[in-house]
Chain A
Amino acid sequence: MKPAVNSILEAVANPTGRFRTLDNLYAITGEDGQPIVTSSSAAVGVRVEWRGKEYIMKFLDESHAPDARRVAAAIETMRVSWLAPSIYLESQVWLFDNRGEGAWHDIVLQEIPPGKSLVDYLQAHASSGDREPLAKLFRNFCDMAACLGVAGIAHNKIRPQGIIVCDGAYPTLIDNERVTVGSGNVDADDEPLSILAVLLFIAACRPELFLSLRQRRLNQPANFRSIIPDLITIARETDNLALELISEGLLQCKTTIMGRVGVIRLLTLLKDKIEPWKELSSLLNPEPFWEASGPMSDTLRAVMRSGKWSYVDRSGKSVFAAEYDYADDFFEGRAVVSCGSDYGLIDRKGDTIMPIVFEQVRWYGREGIAIAVYEGKYTLHNRGGAKVCDKEWDWLGDPGEGLIAAAKDGKYGYIAYDGSTTIEFRFTNAYDFRNGRAVVELGGKETSIDTAGVCAAN
């Protein structure tokens, strides 16, 4: 467990007598006058100034402390310039817990090398179309991958936010709490390292393509996979065997099987292939950016352009032409859409399953049923859009445990998913079933019933 941020901030704001050796330490504050705090699953970091230099003071999760100690020692011994210098300080700071009891805590003091974050560096040079600094960065990145591999260092969660680009386009890794040294898993970071290398290669060859990928969030590891087939096409058409092999490795998740030695060999080959491509792929003709978007769901994403919603696939291409005023996320092959105040249900091809004429449509993918409201009456539909029965109700709750709370003529009861009545309409109110029971109102009193409709004994 990490110490509470409140207690860390207290120590940094009141350093006198709280640090064993770090004298004259100051918290660096942001625009709001508050200390700059960043957290991760492994550590809480606070920006500090000590003896004229900027550092991130890291308070590690207990489970990461032994690794961090080993890593700091290894970095110091090996003098690996690709990793920001850091010092592990045992029992350095006196922190109070929420009950006011104090205890010594270890910290890692990690230098922040002067330079630009990788994100800012890429944005600045890709925007200006200045390929040379980007090419230099890519070559240095390949050298870094080789050097860390030889030294038996795996970064594990290598990512753009954790890299500072220093003078001479040298990348320096700053999230050292992620690092493992010599523990036999040097290949653990091959996939994120390879993805980042390919993105840097794209930036060096086609800066505008890199910007387009970034704009469409395709540079993010979760979405990157969708562009790999296009990359393989580009690699084949430009006779770039290294890019083809590394892309295929990523497509088949074989980067770790390929091993660091294999990745390094391919990156070394890729260094000599930095040149602009011709217009070869649909990747190079991106669709316009959207104003709002939902999450990727059922492999499709709802996006809004010029105030209208439609759906795109992982590469950002429209999957069908229809546009809506509202488009819900797909779930189990169906999505609720609306035009004006009318709602309907569509499938993944954009075909209409329920016409867009209802006052409300709710889709329950797990149960495979939809509930629709037309002229104030509720009806029950299957995943094909057809009514499961001719019955109508005044209200229907959410399905669960095989039952749906329903209202008819002022009384509440429960129906099955085929519309048949399973618990008679005798209640004045009824809630959905949870864990085999539902709360109902009967004779002015609340009680609970089981799925057979039997009231709880008081």
Chain B
Amino acid sequence: MYSAKITRANPSAFIILIDQSGSMDESVVFDSNTMPKAEAVALMANMLIGEIVNRSRREEGVRDYFHIAAAGYSDDKVYPAFGGSQYFVSTSQLAGMDVRRARYTRERALPTGENVMMVIEHKFWIEPQSRSNTPMYQALDKAHELARKWCDDPAHSLSYPPIIFNITDGEASDADDTALMQIAEKIKSLATADGNALLINIHIAADSEMPPTLFPATAEELGNAAHARLLYEMSSPMPERYSADIVRLRTPAGRGTFRGMSYNCSPADMLAMIDIGSISINLMQ
């Protein structure tokens, strides 16, 4: 399980849900850059997409090893985040899109001990947005619909199962905990022959007294925060394949089955979460 080689004949899928509600307008600091949370989230999602596109690049062109869907959610609706009307886009389509590029400076410590500012350019397939409510149930329902159709396609029956990232900073405005749990269970029950779909909930914070929790091994790690415990229950237990990287990330590492979630994480933590959640990229042939 969770070991299928990712090839053009057996591609895999990522579904990225991005909370674009009004609270995503708050500022966070990522390295030395202060930016709205919406921009930080878009940057991380775009870095993941850039990594997938570049890893799929062969001498003869970009191969379709992955199908990537992105959905934004705000106001009272869910919408394709790549623009247009399509949620799922192939890797080669993404490579062919003419998208905005933005430069960021990052402070780096060189091996000489010298600190320097470096300029890094990133492509923006997904643009940041922030407005109004958080229709998370609708977003998860859309993810279920997309993942179900993807898993039902006989061409994907042997594929590495889809990974669903839900990146949010708040609580759902369109459903209660029971409804959220039910839709999460429906997503987690989808499967290919290689395993069940993985739902990873990433909760980010602008500023919090509470320290971040990444890939908790028990619900107790989250204290009494009800929303954190809900996200814990909603999130997938991470398969063994991911454990070594999770242990490297966590201090102290803890024991047990890690859940695919974070609470109160910073942009840097979010990047690490996405990095681990997408290690299936290394199964690309």
Contact = CB atoms under 8 A, between A and B. Distances in A.
A17 interface: yes
A40 B285 CA distance: 7
B120 A13 contact: yes
Given A39-B57, A41-B284, A161-B58, A99 B191 contact: no
Given A18-B110, A398-B152, 10 more contacts: A1-B282, A9-B54, A14-B119, A17-B111, A39-B284, A44-B55, A61-B282, A99-B268, A100-B108, A446-B182
A121 interface: no
Contacts of A73: none
Contacts of A331: 154
Closest 4 A-B residue pairs measured CB to CB?
Answer: A5-B54, A161-B59, A17-B110, A14-B118
Interface in B163-213: 179, 182, 185-186, 189-191, 196
Contacts of B111: 17, 94, 102, 104
A274 interface: no
B230 interface: no
A38 B182 contact: no
A169 B282 CA distance: 36
Interface of B: 9, 31, 47, 50-51, 54-60, 106, 108-112, 114, 116, 118-121, 152, 154-155, 179, 182, 185-186, 189-191, 196, 268, 271-272, 275, 279, 282, 284-285
B58 A38 contact: yes
A13 B119 contact: yes
A4 interface: yes
Contacts of B284: 39, 41
A446 B268 CA distance: 38
16 contacts: A5-B51, A6-B47, A6-B50, A10-B106, A14-B116, A14-B119, A38-B58, A39-B56, A44-B54, A61-B282, A98-B272, A161-B58, A431-B186, A437-B189, A439-B182, A448-B185
Contacts of B114: 17
A161 B61 CA distance: 11
Contact of B190 (A41, A161, A434): A434
Nearest to A447: B182
Contacts of A2: 282
A295 interface: yes
Interface string A39-69: 1110010000000000000000100000000
Nearest to A35: B54
Nearest to A39: B55
A102 B109 contact: yes
Contacts of A98: 268, 271-272, 275
Interface of A: 1-2, 4-6, 9-10, 13-14, 16-18, 37-41, 44, 61, 94, 96, 98-100, 102, 104, 117, 119, 161-162, 295, 331, 365, 398, 431, 434-435, 437, 439, 446, 448
B285 A161 contact: no
A39 B58 contact: yes
B285 A434 contact: no
A66 B116 CA distance: 33
A32 B154 CA distance: 37
Contacts of A4: 51, 275
Contacts of A39: 54-58, 284
A96 B108 contact: yes
A105 B114 CA distance: 19
Contact of A99 (B54, B60, B271): B271
A26 B276 CA distance: 31
Nearest to A104: B111
Contacts of B268: 98-100
A59 to B, nearest CB: 12
Contacts of B179: 446
Nearest to B123: A34
B13 to A, nearest CB: 17
Contacts of A295: 9, 155
Contacts of B51: 4-6
B191 A434 contact: yes
Contacts of A10: 106, 118, 120
Nearest to A5: B54
B50 A5 contact: yes
A134 B282 CA distance: 38
Contacts of A435: 189, 191, 196
B60 A161 contact: yes
Nearest to A4: B51
Contacts of A434: 189-191
Contact of B59 (A9, A38, A96, A365): A38
A451 to B, nearest CB: 14
A17 B116 CA distance: 10
Contacts of B155: 295
Contacts of B119: 13-14
Contacts of A1: 279, 282
Contacts of A104: 111
Nearest to A433: B189
Contacts of B154: 331, 365
Contacts of B56: 39
**Which of B50, B112, B154, B279 neighbours the largest number of chain A CB atoms within 10 Å of its CB?**
B154
A98 B279 CA distance: 13
**Which of B31, B54, B106, B108 neighbours the largest number of chain A CB atoms within 10 Å of its CB?**
B54
B187 to A, nearest CB: 11
Contact of B285 (A18, A41, A119, A439): A41
